[in-house]
Structure 1
Amino acid sequence: MSRPAWTAENIPDQRGRTAVITGANTGTGFEAARILAGRGAAVVLACRNSAKAADAADRIRAAVPGSTVTTLRLDLASQASVREAAEEVRAGHGRIDLLVNNAGMLGSRERTVTEDGFEATFATNHLGAFAFTGLVLDRLLPVPGSRVVTVSSIVHRGATLDFDDLQTRAKYRRDAVYGASKLANLMFTYELQRQLAASRARTVALAAHPGMSRTEFTRDLSPANRFLFDPRIKLLTGWILQDRAIGALGMVRAAVDPEARGGECYGPPGRAQLTGHPVRVESSATSHDAGAQGRLWRESERLTGVSYPLTRIEA
């Protein structure tokens, strides 16, 4: 007999816990913040646009009276902003129970670089999350049951990482770069979990993806593809698209389900993993390449200058 669908009703009481969620002013990140606030968590919305973050916080407070919601300016495309945000969150929070690396971008059709000289999509989706996690990890490590959840995408399937050209200077294709950054999210998660386990940390790392959900992320798509995500044609596309509140449940389950374990990934069920309430899912074989995971980690340390406060403890 199959188990009942995992819903917000399955979320344990989160009172006394602090959750930092990047990119939480809109889409599935906003829904995850709203859901966790509804279960009692103190939620920090870490977002690039401060005005939109403040508006999102107001909407959550209105939906969840008495909730504790604060904002943090974080531009993952800027290593300076990452460091400033990390210092601010460390100063304001002695402990973090949940860090959800949700923020991401699809990127422009033409290659752009950040102020640090990195290709913008890779910088935002991977390097920013890598650096921010490393800089606040010591606020999670002492906390029993603390978790780092990084949000990937089903488009990681078929993606590859070219370690000779991670900044895609030679050949830039927007969709391929986005897929590679989402593959990097998974490789980062699995390598982080390996290192956490080796150091016998109380923190674990998990991944999630929202399947195909209607969010403002579609603003970067072509007009033809944006049409498919239009709520007005929901009856036509409901079988391949789902509401963002359901899409958000993957990252929420990875963050709070007592049965979830480090190194797991959660997303919609089925072979295509497009829609549905979250279950444990398998990512691509490429994402599990331990050698590539380690190489990406070392390169990320070199590019960001961030080293993690982890010490391997031999059995």
Structure 2
Amino acid sequence: MTTETAKGDAGARTAGPRALARQRRRQSVVRFWKQYRTHRAGLAGLIALALFALLALTAPLTFGSDVAGVTGAPGQPMESPSAEFPLGTDRFGRDLLGLLVWGSRVSLLVGLLAAALSVAIGTTVGITAGHFKGAYATVLMRITDWFLVMPTLVLAIALATVLPRSLGTVVLAIGVTSWPTTARLVRAQTLAVESRPYIERAKALGGGHWHVMSRHVLPNVMPLVLAQTTLMISSSILAEATLAFLGVSDPNVVSWGGLLQDAREAGAVSSGNWWYLVPPGIAIAVVALAFTLCGRAVESVLNPRLGVGR
């Protein structure tokens, strides 16, 4: 027995239940980080996300809050990159670097909120369908199948068109149309968990439906939910960019997809103004790739049997 293990056992004997639970959670986090940092691709993705998050949080300090204003723009329309404007200007003469940094706030926020809503719906549907079974599960799974076969983007566009044009509408449109995959995965994991003997013992000791689902099933499916969340964020960011590019998002809010839509309307493709198109496109691709790398690394740590490459 090592010294650290002996100290941990001695602390466990003297600590109360809550302190012991906190200690175990801390140890789990430490073990997770030690395994995660061995995945070089996941670590690179995490560093990239940290840089984008830092840029988004410091945007008001570095570029001010009036960077999106059309009146009083600092440059001439469609200026090429220069020392004053490293990424050039848009059709209104606004600094594209400032717009790109400000757009990261909206794109990341919408991606996170939409992914959280999608995973929450999918987890709820998956756990309840796997637990209750019968007619209830059959109806839920048929609804899930219907959403699976329908084009997600078409449903999101239809929903965003009917509702008022705002960021909340975009989050709702993405969240309520992208949950079926999570529901299917969580239901399969729930069925596997509920077949274990300790679930039968919990029911025999008087554990109700809520107790079984919240205390036994949910903790066992949380690793899958966490990995699915990181993967869903990249899909949500791409979906938000697509909706903004198609013009169904809030036109008064700067986002990466909105910048691409502005570039299309300004004729940047035909006129060869690459600085209007390339930076937001690269930003979307890099963030989506970073979240995907983090998701694959998390999935590999939580489920080593997947054999995800490092």
Q: Larger % of strand: which?
A: 1
Give me the TM-score of the superposition, normalised by structure 1.
0.23
Larger gyration radius, structure 1 or structure 2: 2
Q: Larger % of helix: which?
A: 2
Q: Which has the higher contact order (CA 8 A, sep 6+)?
A: 2
Give me the TM-score of the superposition, normalised by structure 2.
0.23
